[in-house]
Amino acid sequence: MLRALWLYLRGYVIIRVKGPNLERFINSVVQRGGSLWRARRMGPDVLVASVTVEQFRPACRTGRQAGLSVRILAKAGLPFLMARCRRRPMWVVGAAVAVAAIYGAAGRVWFVDVEGAQSVEPRRIVEVAAEAGLRRGMAKEQLNAEAIRRHLLLRLDRLAWATVDLQGTLATIRVAEKTVGEAAPRPGHVVAALDGVVERLVVRRGEPLVAVGETVRRGQILISGLLLPGTPAYEARVAAGQPPVVAAQGEVIARVWVTGYGEARLVERVEEPTGRRAWAVEVNVFGRRWRVGPAESPYRHFRTRAGHLGNGITWRRFDELGERASVRSYTLARDMALAAAWQEVREQLATGAEVRPGSVIDCAPQTDGEVALVRCRVRLETAQPIGRFDPIAP
């Protein structure tokens, strides 16, 4: 992200390079200290890439020496924007006013939505949330999600669970209702779904076996469904003739470290049609078949298409595929590897996870045999719920 900001401040141009020996052009630019990013082949002899303003003229000279045509497709970055602004001062004033208005509006809650409501009217939930301070037009920093959640559970008896999520200018109230006449829940424990350090522990039913600040491992029992002798809950169930086991329930928030990994090749082998093809036509008449052309593809790498012309006539076409090397810049390969690593991280985050600042990003080019790669690892700290219910075997 810092690199993208730096390139925007310096300014860059998007160029089209046309001609043969594009790989030689890329290597020459890199050897002279330049760099191309977002490079992509638009054809066998056409390359589109981005280059900084300072490196544009050397790249043009390199292209002319190689007999290539280099043309600017677009200009981007702060220097070009400032040049346009000097010619249109009123546009700058209008943009500043619009940015100020958008910034002010983005700092407030303008929409309130309800998810999960069935028997309880969503309008009623919004009204009760407004009593706790959730109103359209309120400043985001004034929103107290925990206070609103507690108020909803106290005022609406039919709700078993509630939470408030804020995304942009939309506040979403998610609720779960109690099921009337449902069977008694099966006894069980709340166990850790992830390794972490407990930061918050709220026990609604059962016996806590861990404390705040304690390190827990995946599968460890956090809240036991087995009641301890001598506790009020134990004595009440025994007096009622019920076994001293319950379905443990509670909330366990822990500090969890999540790691993601991604990699991308610097040189990718791409298959594309060479233009050579072979046809095979088959005719089926009165139970007999005649074929013109090969029964199998004469090419090692190929793509097949088939069709039916009616009256027992079918055809197949074998298109030969050839390999070419698609060269990626280090920046493009790193961005692809980072995107894969962040996707792996997102898949590990629980709903409502809070990402802490100070994520660690490590990217480096490496060689796996004869394959040049860029490997990236992302490690970040989160605070998220780790408890999951584990029923006790009968």
The per-residue pLDDT for range 119-144, each reduced to its tens digit, is 888 888 988 888 888 888 888 888 88
State which amino acid sits at residue 160: A
**316/310 Cα distance (integer angstroms):** 14
* Domains defined for the chain, CATH in brackets: 2-82 (3.30.70.260), 111-177 (3.10.20.310), 184-266+328-394 (no CATH), 269-324 (no CATH)
Task: Copy the structure tokens of residue 91.
Answer: 């546009």
The mean-pLDDT minimum among 84-88, 182-186, 220-224, 267-271 falls in: 182-186
**183 — pLDDT class (breaks 50, 70, 90):** very low
Phi, psi of 269 (to 5 degrees): -85, 120
Helix H segments across the chain? 2-10, 22-31, 53-65, 78-87, 89-106, 122-131, 145-155, 232-239, 330-348
Query: Which residue is listed with tokens 């919004």?
Result: 126
> Residue 131 half-sphere exposure, CB side, CA atoms within 13 Å?
13
Task: Please enumerate in sequence order all residues whose Cβ is within 8 A of that of 157, keeping only pairs 6 or more positions apart, or say none.
Answer: 178
Can you give the length of the chain in residues?
394
Cα of first residue to Cα of last residue in the chain, in angstroms, is 54
Task: Copy the structure tokens of residue 215.
Answer: 């390190």
The candidate with the shortest Cα–Cα distance to 153, out of 181, 116, 178, is: 178
Residue 104: per-residue pLDDT: 66
pTM value is 0.41
Is beta strand 111-115 parallel, antiparallel or unpaired with respect to 170-177?
A: parallel
Task: Copy the structure tokens of residue 328.
Answer: 């990626």
The candidate with the shortest Cα–Cα distance to 222, out of 204, 244, 241, is: 204
Angle between helices 145-155 and 122-131 (to 10 degrees): 120
Q: How deeply is 244 buried, as exposed, middle or buried, from its count of CB atoms within 10 A (0-12, 13-18, 19+)?
A: middle
Phi, psi of 172 (to 5 degrees): -110, 125
Task: Copy the structure tokens of residue 221.
Answer: 């029992």
**149/129 Cα distance (integer angstroms):** 8
Q: Which position has the higher pLDDT, 223 or 14?
A: 223
Task: Please enumerate in sequence order all residues whose Cβ is within 8 A of that of 12, keeping only pairs 6 or more positions apart, or say none.
Answer: 50, 51, 52, 53, 75, 76, 77
Instruction: Please give the average per-residue pLDDT across 203-221, as a whole number.
Output: 92
Tell me, what DSSP letter sits at residue 217? -
Q: Which position has the higher pLDDT, 376 or 177?
A: 376
- Return the H-helix or E-strand segment holding 280: strand 267-285
Residue 189: per-residue pLDDT: 93
State which amino acid sits at residue 373: L
**85/12 Cα distance (integer angstroms):** 17
* Degrees to nearest 5, angle at CA 251 with 359 and 121: 105
Q: How deeply is 342 buried, as exposed, middle or buried, from its count of CB atoms within 10 A (0-12, 13-18, 19+)?
A: middle
**308/9 Cα distance (integer angstroms):** 58
Residue 182 reports pLDDT greater than 60: no
The per-residue pLDDT for range 57-68, each reduced to its tens digit, is 887 877 777 778
**190 — pLDDT class (breaks 50, 70, 90):** very high
Residue 353: per-residue pLDDT: 82
Residue 42: per-residue pLDDT: 77
